[in-house]
Structure 1
Amino acid sequence: MAIKKLIIIGGYGNGTVVQSTVEDINAVNQEWDLIGFLNDRETQPINGSPVLGKIDKKTINKYLIDPDVYFFYTLISVKMNFKFLNKLTDLEIPKNRFATIIHPTAVVSKFAQIGNGTCIQPFVSVGPNTKIGNHVQIYAQSLIGHGAVLDDYCYIANNACIGADVHLEEGAYLGTNATTLEFVKLGKWSITGIGSVVLKDVPDYAKMVGNPARQIGSVE
């Protein structure tokens, strides 16, 4: 079976974290040939991997011709939210051409469902009967409780703990060391800050902080 080729869309930050995860995967079993990055600002190699061009449809189509090339989109974070999705959709990359990257130290139940373009980082635990959508970032040492649902574009920072049967709607962000009670819902594109403890449902686009978490504003 041919080694799959990978292009990371992005750069320093989320992109280099994915790059590092790919290196760890390859150290165990050579699965990916990281051929480079697409980046609108950088032209020099990023941690030794070349920048292949800008993030545009012309460049994407050049590489889509090769059926062994896959992509990973990293331009989603607390600062780059739904306003950046038009860049992703404009590229018109087929869903099955987005790579799913899982670190070899992550523990993922065989009864979990993982979408396309999702990255699961070191020492993450994903419980049974979870449903994780497309383009989800789950950072190191996070715990995803059984039956949890993470919709597309969710972002789980390191050491976050998601209780059983919790639902994170599209684009919900859960900060470092944040914790949720079981059965709660985090609304679309909401932001729950560092160390927060979520005991009840979070509205769409809400900014939440504290223990217990309280709303301090809204995402613009």
Structure 2
Amino acid sequence: MKKAIYLVGGGGHCASAIDIIEQEDKFRIAGILDSPGKIGKKVLGYEIIGDESEIKKYAKTDNYFLITMGHIKTCRQRRQLAEKISAFGGRLARVLSPHAYISKHSRIGSGTIVGHDAIVSAGVSTGINCIIATKAVIEHNVRLGDYCHISTCAVVNGESRLGNGVFVGSNAMIRQRLKIGEKCVVGAGVNVFQDLPSKSYLKFIR
């Protein structure tokens, strides 16, 4: 019997997550939690059944949860939701696309989602509640901190270290063996060739 999973956040990332969950065929989506104004609406046929204040209600039954909102400026909201779920006894699901390549020699943290056609190479480890999006590449021996978001087609090259809450935009590239401090934002299309101190913000300029 499939395990029940509740999704927290009903936006665009939620739709992507639903598709991965359906493909993985490990969990049964029991409902979505979002803002009160969205209750009753549906995402890909799954109903928004309540808001975030009801996490405690569903966590009591020892169900699984996945935070299905992306990195909105910072990871703060995702982190707060994860802490609330854990405090109430809920479990954070690990959702892995069957169309991704994930090395058996890697370690994926709880609450993390790996999208279609992503590559997670040998020796990689991720913290909790990371997003590794469609076609992202995480090369050998990379370490991702908690709440990192690696966007579509981004590449993190071998042996790099990313701190907690780092955002890497679509088609960005991080060179091998770099240290990226916590809460850095690397914009879409940016190539990074040197270490970054915490809270750095790099934007692609045409």
TM-score normalized by the length of structure 1: 0.86
The answer to whether the Cα contact below 8 Å between 2:154 and 2:172 also exists between their aligned partners in 1 is yes
Q: Give the structure 1 partner of residue 68 of structure 2.
A: 74
Deviations 1:1-58 (A, max 9, x none): x3111100001111121111112222xxxx21101100113111222111121101xx
Structure 1 residue 8 corresponds to structure 2 residue 7: yes
Secondary structure of 1:113's match?
A: coil
Number of aligned positions between the proteins = 202
In structure 1, distance between residues paired with 2:75 and 2:138 = 22
Q: 2:96 aligns with which of 102, 109, 126?
A: 102
In structure 2, distance between residues paired with 1:80 and 1:15 = 18
Q: Give the structure 1 partner of residue 59 of structure 2.
A: 64
The answer to whether the Cα contact below 8 Å between 2:174 and 2:192 also exists between their aligned partners in 1 is yes
Structure 1 residue 160 corresponds to structure 2 residue 154: yes
In structure 1, distance between residues paired with 2:88 and 2:116 = 27
Tell me the percent identity.
Answer: 24
TM-score normalized by the length of structure 2: 0.91
In structure 1, distance between residues paired with 2:64 and 2:112 = 12
The answer to whether the Cα contact below 8 Å between 2:74 and 2:183 also exists between their aligned partners in 1 is no
Structure 1 residue ranges without an equivalent (≥5) = 212-220
Q: Give the structure 1 partner of residue 38 of structure 2.
A: 42
Q: 1:202 aligns with which of 169, 181, 196?
A: 196
Give the CA deviation at 1:90.
3.5
Give the CA deviation at 1:80.
4.4
In structure 2, distance between residues paired with 1:19 and 1:146 = 28
The answer to whether the Cα contact below 8 Å between 1:78 and 1:173 also exists between their aligned partners in 2 is no
The answer to whether the Cα contact below 8 Å between 1:82 and 1:189 also exists between their aligned partners in 2 is no
In structure 2, distance between residues paired with 1:11 and 1:124 = 23
Q: Give the structure 2 partner of residue 53 of structure 1.
A: 50
Q: 1:125 aligns with which of 113, 116, 119?
A: 119
- The list of structure 1 runs, each at least 4 consecutive aligned residues, that deviate by more than 6 angstroms after superposition, is none
In structure 1, distance between residues paired with 2:32 and 2:77 = 22
In structure 2, distance between residues paired with 1:90 and 1:25 = 26
Q: Give the structure 1 partner of residue 28 of structure 2.
A: 33
- Pairing of 1:172-191 with structure 2 (within 5 A): 172-191=166-185
The one-letter amino acid paired with 1:48 is G
The answer to whether the Cα contact below 8 Å between 2:21 and 2:95 also exists between their aligned partners in 1 is yes
In structure 2, distance between residues paired with 1:99 and 1:165 = 26
Secondary structure of 1:62's match?
A: helix
In structure 1, distance between residues paired with 2:27 and 2:66 = 12
The one-letter amino acid paired with 1:61 is K
Give the CA deviation at 1:93.
4.2
Q: 1:171 aligns with which of 165, 174, 179?
A: 165
The answer to whether the Cα contact below 8 Å between 1:179 and 1:198 also exists between their aligned partners in 2 is yes
CA separation of 1:82/1:194 partners in 2, compared to 1, >3 Å: closer, same or farther? same
